[in-house]
Amino acid sequence: MIRSSPSLQKSIYILFFSFLVISGLYFAQNFLIPLAISALLAMLFVPLSRWLENKGISRMVAGVICVLIFLLGTGAIIGLLSWQASGISEDLTEITRRISMIADDLREFIARNIGISTEKQKQWMLNQTNGSSATLGMAGLMLSSLMSIFIHFILVLVYLFLFIYYRSHLKKFILMLVPLSETDETEKIISDAGKVAQKYISGLSSMIVILWIMYAAGFSIVGVKSAIFFAILCGLLEILPFIGNFTGTVITVLAVISQGGSNGMIIGVIVTYLIIQFIQTYFLEPLVVGSEVNINPLFTILIIVFMEIVWGVAGMILAIPMLGIVKIICDHVTQLKPYGFLIGRARSDKHPRIVIKLRNWLGLNNKVSTNS
């Protein structure tokens, strides 16, 4: 009779537990996503709520003020986008016409070089869309998606207020779960986790504003129509790590092509993107976001891909701050410290020499911690 070793049993338990966690995250995403978003936002607004409470304002009123500030900020961004989008709507007919021309040229290219006639291509597209039924299905899907977003947004507002109002109660509950000897360490974990979320969200917000300014200046110099709209779009897409800015730039290039922009304008948009990416990667992120969310690039990419599979776009947005909080927990729990080390940056991760010299000249290296 073959007996399993304790180490094998432990590995099986870990794999089984991991499977349960991943399954729970996936099947409970409609419940967990607004909860996770509101929890991170609550960590951001807790200092403001605490400051208001110190001024003599009740916690309930302070929570309402925090929710109203979040609503005003969200409304301002939506209003700004809508205002700039109105300028694009005037050229929408021309853009649609040029996109149609580009599609016709592409069909002709395929017909000449691959041998698939334009009629067959149109028939294939018609079969893929299933005619008018697909249009109705897409309209229904869009309406359903908008309703889901609206419901989740309302839930986020409610959860945000409740997290702020009951934060002391929730903290006491967590402290009751650990032995008295570990209370101080647990409080430090809670404090550090809150700082990670605050630093990441506030830093990301500041960086988006700076990106708006840089993209608006760059696109305006290049001569892009509705430059401010595309600058706002590129900046907002920064909430999607790695692919956000690139996606915004691709959309801008397609818009320039559809508007009849010259090759020089297209190259100008691409050069603007590359310059801003360099500034963002080596200056803005270390200075504005800082080193609080100290995760190495390998696990940054892995967690983004994993969370996109589990939670979609919302998962990509939440991936980095959530992994940052997990790393904080691993760093403070003895048994989990190897995992915290694995997730964190290596001490050998350094910027190129020319960048280090520029940062020294600007005095940035003295302001930003480089410890792993």
* Cβ atoms of residues 83 and 101 within 8 Å: no
Residue 367 pLDDT: 44
* pLDDT class of 94 with cuts at 50, 70, 90: low
Q: Which has more pLDDT, 372 or 321?
A: 321
Does position 366 have pLDDT exceeding 60, yes or no?
A: no
Q: What is the pLDDT of residues 115-163, one digit of tens each?
A: 666 676 666 665 554 544 444 455 555 666 677 788 889 999 999 999 9
DSSP 217: H
User: How many angstroms separate the CA atoms of 205 and 201, rounded?
Assistant: 6
User: How many angstroms separate the CA atoms of 348 and 356, rounded?
Assistant: 14
Does position 365 have pLDDT exceeding 80, yes or no?
A: no
Question: How many other C-beta atoms are found inside a 10 Å radius of the C-beta of residue 97?
Answer: 11
Can you give the residue range of the structural domain that contains 165? 27-177
- Total structural domains in the chain? 1
Query: What value does the mean pLDDT of the chain take?
Result: 79
Residue 116 is assigned to a structural domain of this protein:
yes
* pLDDT class of 371 with cuts at 50, 70, 90: very low
Lowest mean pLDDT among 68-82, 91-105, 175-189: 91-105
**pTM of the predicted structure, to 2 decimals:** 0.75
Lowest mean pLDDT among 19-23, 172-176, 199-203: 199-203
Which of 233, 283, 281 has the alpha carbon at shortest distance from 253? 233
Q: What are the residues whose beta carbons fall under 8 Å from the beta carbon of 196, sequence distance 6 or more? A: 292, 293, 321, 324, 325, 328
Residue 93 is assigned to a structural domain of this protein:
yes
Residue 309 is assigned to a structural domain of this protein:
no
Residue 369 pLDDT: 41
Mean pLDDT of 212-226: 88
